[in-house]
Structure formats: structure tokens, C-alpha cells
Structure 1
Amino acid sequence: MKVKIPCFKCFEQDGIKEPVFSFLELGESNIHEVICTRGHKTFIALTQHKHEILFEIGAMALADGYPREAIATIAAALERFYELCIRVISSGIEIPEEQLHAAWRLIDAASERQFGAFILSMLLWSKECPEVIDNKKPTLPNTSRGDTKTWKEFRNAVIHKGLIPSECVTIEYCELVYAHMNELTKTMTLRHEEAWLSEAQKQATVARQANPEKEIVMFGLPTTLFLARGTQAPGSFKEALKQLNGYREIYGR
């Protein structure tokens, strides 16, 4: 996905008042090189959490009519969200970064182990077992509850067996994940706001430290999950999807 952003150097260096845009292609690296139509080169580091970027890509896929791609991407966003929660809790209880890194290497390639680590981290932190949405079931027309897959079975069938989901069921799944993430985000930021913000800035800070020769601009995108934390937050995923369609002109192509 490519994001259209204003060229900062056109304003700062040339004093050009009308907006001049560049296209930033989202990728795994957090260093993005963009060049505007006037030839200004800028290096951008995003301050968004990775799960926010993934969720946005999934929401955009759904808005463009690709429900299967939306399910796969938003499921990946949920996994990265759980990882973030583990990192925030670890930071909040002052676990050394190198020890967390050593432990994470042992489960880095196993999503089920990562989910288990999330469950136990939340239990030890809050003294309560967190909600598990995987075992819930969608509401399907003309289908009994006994014949309905759980969300975990549904997601795995989409990702691993090529199941093509309907838009209706996809929206219900996205609604569930959206509410789950937002509720946990409120809980986490209430007690660990500093650690939460620090994790968001960390990838941009690491990018700067790894590229001292480059002048890097920190930039935050108005993603769906980011806007959900504001005072005008959409109350549901359907509302957020409408909002996304309203400002999607910032996504150039």
C-alpha cells in the first residue's frame, strides 16, 4: 500500500504554500525514502505500532472488496498486537530489553506459543485471565451454532485452506477484533501509558540510530486504530470503515 504524504522540504526550504505530495510505500523496513515532484528527497520513519499499520491495510483491503485478504491481514495485526502487549508489560515491570529479546527468540516462529505468552503475561500482570475471542462463534444465517466454526477455525480455514469468506462474516470478524484491541488498549494505556508510547517511538528511534548520516523525519499516519483512541472515536468497526472511506483520498494508490 502506498500513502500520499506532503513534502516537508517544499514548505521548509522553498516556502511553497500549496501542498506537494510524495508517495510512501509501506514495507517491513521503517526507513522510507520518498521523492516529491520537485526532486526533494526525504527519509521518513513512522511512529505507528506495526499492528496499526497491518490493521489499516486489512481495512483497506475490505473497503476495496477483498474480504479474504482482509481476514489474513487483520489476523496478523492481532498477533502483533499481542506481542506489543507483552513488550509493554515487560517494560512496565522493568524486565531488561536483552532478556525479553532472548526469551522472544525462543517463540518467535510459533504463533501458538506467542499467544500463550500473552495469556500468561496478562494473567500475571492483571491477576485475571484475559478474554479469548478465538473460541467465540459468528452469527451465520441459516446455520446452527453447532455447525458453526469458531473464529479460530474460521480464520485458519481462510488462511490455510483457501476459504473465501463473505463480506458479512468478514465485517463481523473485523468488528470483534476491533473492539477487542480497543478494549485492551484502554486497559494497557491506563496503567502503562509511558511504556505504550515508548514502544511506538522505539522503531523510529532505532531507525535514526542505525542511519546517523540521514536526516530522518518522524511521521504518524491517521490510521483507523489510532483515530479510535481519540475523543471522536468511532464506536464500531462499521463506523470506522465509513470514516476510512471518507479520508482514503490520502492513500494515493
Structure 2
Amino acid sequence: MKLPMTCFECFHELNTPQYPVWVEYQDSHLYEFECPNGHKSHAILQQQKLEVLFSIGMHAITDGYYREAVASFASSLERFYEFFIKVKLLHEKIDSSAVTKSWKNVAQQSERQLGAFILFYTQTFNEEPLLLSQSNTKFRNAVIHKGLIPTKQEAIDFGQAVLDVINPIAEKMTTKFKDAIIEFTFMHIYSYSGPRSAEWNPSTMNSPSLLNVSSRNPGYVQHTVADGLEHLIKMKGFGAIR
């Protein structure tokens, strides 16, 4: 499972997009890589953790690891709830240090996070949020906690179910929390940037995903998991990626 990166020096020198450099996913969002022409680059991935996890789930399906795909999709949804809560609080002008301290009290308790999300969503939009169906929740628990080995189609269907929960809420967020999302994204990038120097001057990398929760523009087109898998398989044909 690897992430495609672009060498900007090659782009500037040749004035044309080059084949991607494939790098291992990092939890830190920081990437250091060298292109075939010997250019060394540092980059900060702009995507939120929830987008990275969903992409890992997509890779897992193409690699034949369907149980891991379901686990990644489930984690992506949980991190989306976190994203919503923190963006909502930022929109309400709650001090970020207070949010960080409060989050520590629920960081290890997914049920409390879900409860907070439901209440914040209801307070914001005056309606109950769309959640995973009971059958999908039962399926997720069977895979993660009981060792169920899903089929490829079951993994795809679960990924689509997660996508169907996130997309409409992300659309509402784009309208309601536009400025807060931009601010949250900059905070995300800044938290990894550190002091810049001649040796450390990272660029910001935006790797499109099926979610794009932090960079949706008007007219954003939503795609299915099947669409995303077809595109990913084509992308893998551009380089040696395993």
C-alpha cells in the first residue's frame, strides 16, 4: 500500500507531470522521498487522517486484504466523527487548546465520540444524522471483534456504506463550516511543518481521494468505491507498487 508523490523539481525542469514516486504511508503525514532523477523532496500530506485511512482501505481491496479494508473503512468513519466535532468547535470559536485537552477524555472511547457527534450534528442542522445501518454495524463488529473474514464484495459494500454516510455530511460541512475547515486544514499542516531551514523546507502535497473532506469545491463530483478502485488500479500501472 503506497501513496503517489510528485517531484516538483522534475515538474519545473520538464514542465510536464511525471510518473509518481510511490512512498509508504506514514502516520506522521510527513514524507521524504527521492525521485528517479535524484531529486530529494520533503512533503506534508494535507489530507486528514480519515482520508488516508479510507485510501488504505481501497489499497487493501486491490491487494486482496478484505478484512483489513473493512477495518480501515471503519476507522476512517470514526476519524470523520472526530473531524466533524473539532471543526464544529473551531467554528464556534472554542480555543484549540481547550479542545485538545477535552478530546483526551474521549480519545480512547469511540462510543463517547459517536455520542458527541450525534449531539453536535443535531444541534447544528436540527436533524438526526445518517449513521451506519444496524446490519453494517453488526458486520463491522463481526469482522473486527470476532474474526469474520469478509469477501471482496462485502468489503466493497461496506466501504460504500461508509462513503454514503460521510459524503452528505461532508457536503453540509462545506457550506456551514467553510472557513473553519480551511482554518483546521492550515492548523493541520502547521502542526507538522516545524521550523524551516535549508535542509527542511517541505512542500504541501494534496493527494485526491474519494472523500476530499477538506478541499471540496463547488460542483464536486462524488464517485463510488467501484469507481475509485478502477482508478486506483490504473494508477498502480504507472509504477511498481505493491
Q: Specify if TM > 0.5.
A: yes
Deviation digits for residues 149-196 of structure 1 (CA, Å, limit 9, x no counterpart): x22221111112110012222222111111111111001111111212
Question: Alignment identity in percent?
Answer: 31
* Secondary structure of 1:45 counterpart: strand
When the two chains are superposed, the root-mean-square deviation of aligned CA atoms in Å is: 2.3
Determine the C-alpha separation between the residues in 2 that align with 1:96 and 1:129.
27
Aligned length: 236
Determine the C-alpha separation between the residues in 2 that align with 1:237 and 1:10.
32
Determine the C-alpha separation between the residues in 1 that align with 2:43 and 2:114.
32
Identify which of 179, 192, 196 aligns with 1:212. 196
Decide whether the 8 Å contact of 1:224 with 1:244 is kept in 2: no
**What does residue 75 of structure 2 align with?**
76
Determine the C-alpha separation between the residues in 2 that align with 1:250 and 1:234.
24
In the TM superposition, residue 33 of structure 1 has moved relative to its aligned partner by: 0.9
* Secondary structure of 2:211 counterpart: helix
Moved more, 213-222 or 37-46: 37-46
Q: 1:20 to 1:129 in 2, by over 3 A?
A: closer
* Secondary structure of 2:43 counterpart: strand
Q: 1:110 to 1:250 in 2, by over 3 A?
A: farther
Determine the C-alpha separation between the residues in 2 that align with 1:27 and 1:117.
28
Decide whether the 8 Å contact of 1:2 with 1:251 is kept in 2: no
Determine the C-alpha separation between the residues in 2 that align with 1:153 and 1:44.
39
Determine the C-alpha separation between the residues in 1 that align with 2:239 and 2:144.
26
Decide whether the 8 Å contact of 1:4 with 1:250 is kept in 2: no
Q: Structure 2: which 5+ residue stretches go unaligned?
A: none
Decide whether the 8 Å contact of 2:74 with 2:140 is kept in 1: yes
**What does residue 144 of structure 2 align with?**
159
Q: Structure 1: which 5+ residue stretches go unaligned?
A: 136-149
In the TM superposition, residue 57 of structure 1 has moved relative to its aligned partner by: 0.9
Please give the TM-score of this superposition, normalised by the length of structure 1.
0.84
**What does residue 9 of structure 2 align with?**
9
Determine the C-alpha separation between the residues in 1 that align with 2:20 and 2:69.
27
Decide whether the 8 Å contact of 1:30 with 1:203 is kept in 2: no
Determine the C-alpha separation between the residues in 2 that align with 1:48 and 1:107.
23
Equivalent position amino acid for 2:4 in 1 = K
Q: 1:203 to 1:124 in 2, by over 3 A?
A: same
What aligned pairs does 1:2-151 form with structure 2 within 5 A after superposition?
2-12=2-12, 15-16=13-14, 19=18, 21-135=20-134, 150-151=135-136
User: Which has the greater radius of gyration?
Assistant: 1
Q: 1:250 to 1:88 in 2, by over 3 A?
A: farther
Determine the C-alpha separation between the residues in 1 that align with 2:238 and 2:74.
24
Equivalent position amino acid for 2:209 in 1 = T
Moved more, 77-86 or 171-180: 171-180
